[in-house]
Chains A and B, each alone.
Chain A
């Protein structure tokens, strides 16, 4: 589904990614963990070209993202992204947030897009908030709307960039619950998170990143119970 080869990314002199190779299979849930500044978010943002890689190749469903002839908007429509800070559109209601892109990008009618948005808000448990503006929603509710908004494009892959890091603790659970449902339905997911419980329970594979490299990867059991790399051990001892 996703194939990343020798991915490098620098911001000026600062090297953030130093050669990442990674494959994600269909229906797989990959959790990326690591200390801050290790390049996790940059890696995720490269997968839908919110950041342009300095070097390397990225393929989604066999299509190269960096080939100039690739329609990047079409690719992005297939790759859902959920942000740490939600990034809902504040001038639109919850329903309009979800229905905007299907109308503009997929050319759905207002009616069709509205129905689709309604069913997705129901799925994330917020159908009663359809007409409400984002600033009247809690953080957890906003993030669930943001997930519905990404799902409205019927993406093949969902990317989550620390989706619970900006939430009050009591709201983390409701967002993780929605993500668990998605994983159960067979959505292909790449999740950058500090929620080790989620990684253990839902992740098919966990990747530990440090200093722009994927240092160690494996099943959650292996990563959490028998870590080999010293930096991973140090990281786990700090957060567990």
Chain B
């Protein structure tokens, strides 16, 4: 217990980083996910196919592998591209270092992953709105994008709050995978402490408790938001 007392503030900082990376990733994921979700419903075939491929890839491969691709794969790709451009097009060397900052890699991997799940949430939300709503809007002469913006999306947003909350909680826990690239969020902080002190059980239990505290608070927040939105319907 002594170890936990002495290192608790380090774990708290880790929890703060976990929360930060989750909020940023889910926020970017929402913007990107809305675009991908609407593209999945688009009348343009190419757009639909591209969005479907995106969702399939990021939902069909492990987040851990995606993190590796971004953190180790992208720098390699940059290097190859630059070498190719320099060799074939006489381009001057722009990049001298290829490594991505670990924070940036974490944001990219988690946002792209989150966007795929959120795209499906928005798509389902939009499709759950009665067909008559779109028909009524179109019959008044609105374009499909006006109908989407003023009629469908405002209703869909209310319905996607609970699944979005679930996605946030899932992402909060999945950011623990970022520990493998040395991103110092909560799990990585735990690893470092255990590595130095050899006190495993109390430290990992505390880490678990901190995750639980965050997810618990957030679920209550979602419940509250859901109730508020229902009354305003």
Contact = CB atoms under 8 A, between A and B. Distances in A.
B153 to A, nearest CB: 10
A73 B142 contact: yes
B143 interface: yes
B233 A135 contact: yes
Contacts, number: 65
Interface stretch (A54-62, A86-94, A114-122, A215-223): A86-94
Contacts of A81: 135-136, 139
Interface string A50-90: 10000000000000000000000110111111010101111
A189 B140 CA distance: 16
Given A83-B132, A85-B132, A91-B155, A76 B233 contact: no
B141 interface: yes
Interface residues of A, number: 27
A90 B135 contact: no
B90 interface: no
Given A104-B146, A133-B233, A135-B233, A89 B136 contact: yes
Nearest to B143: A73
B78 interface: no
Contacts of B136: 81, 83, 87-89, 146, 149
B141 A50 contact: no
Contacts of A74: 141
Contacts of B141: 73-74, 76-78, 101, 105, 153
A113 interface: no
B139 to A, nearest CB: 4
A207 interface: no
Contacts of A89: 133, 136-137, 151, 155
B139 A104 contact: no
Interface string B136-171: 111111110010001100110010000000000000
B142 A105 contact: yes
Interface in A164-191: none
Contact of A50 (B130, B135, B154): B135
Contacts of A104: 142, 146, 150
A192 interface: no
12 contacts: A48-B139, A50-B135, A76-B138, A77-B140, A77-B141, A80-B139, A89-B137, A90-B155, A101-B141, A101-B142, A105-B140, A105-B142
Interface of B: 130, 132-133, 135-143, 146, 150-151, 154-155, 158, 233
Given A76-B139, A88-B136, 19 more contacts: A48-B139, A50-B139, A73-B138, A73-B141, A74-B141, A76-B140, A76-B141, A77-B141, A81-B136, A81-B139, A83-B135, A87-B133, A89-B155, A100-B140, A101-B137, A104-B142, A104-B150, A105-B142, A153-B140
